[in-house]
C-alpha cells in the first residue's frame, strides 16, 4: 500500500478507531480504562494489524505505555 511505503498516518481510520473506543482497552481500570489483560490487548492489536498494517502499528505504538 502506498500509504504504508510512505509511512503516512491513516488519519481517517485513526479518527474512526478513536470514536469506537478501542484505545481505552490499553488504559488500566484505575485510570478509567477497560484494563484488559495483555493477552486480550495482543489479540486486538493483531486483529487491527491484519486489517490494516499501518493502523496496527499506530495502535501498537500508542497502547504500549501501559
Q: What is the pLDDT of residues 14-23, one digit of tens each?
A: 787 777 777 7
Average pLDDT of every residue of the chain: 76
Domain contains 41: yes
Residue 26 lies in a domain: yes
Q: Let me know if residue 48 belongs to a domain.
A: yes
Residue 4 placed within a domain: no
Q: What is the pTM of this model?
A: 0.60
Is residue 14 in a domain?
A: yes
What pLDDT, on the 0 to 100 scale, is given for residue 2?
66
- Report the domain count for the chain: 1
- Whether the pLDDT of residue 45 is over 70: the answer is yes
CB 15 within 8 A of CB 21: no
Residue recorded with cell 500509504: 3
Cα angle 30, 59, 12; round to 5: 115
Confidence of residue 11 (pLDDT cuts 50, 70, 90): confident
Q: What domain range is 14 assigned to?
A: 10-62
Which pLDDT score, from 0 to 100, does residue 61 have? Answer: 63
Q: Which residues, at least 6 apart from 40, have a Cβ–Cβ distance to it below 8 Å?
A: 25
Amino acid at each position: 500500500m502506498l500509504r504504508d511505503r510512505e509511512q503516512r498516518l491513516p488519519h481517517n481510520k485513526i479518527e474512526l478507531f478513536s470514536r469506537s473506543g478501542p484505545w481505552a482497552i490499553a488504559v488500566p481500570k484505575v485510570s478509567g480504562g477497560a484494563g484488559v489483560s495483555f493477552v486480550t490487548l495482543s489479540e486486538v492489536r493483531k486483529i487491527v494489524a491484519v486489517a490494516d498494517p499501518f493502523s496496527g502499528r499506530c495502535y501498537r505504538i500508542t497502547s504500549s505505555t501501559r
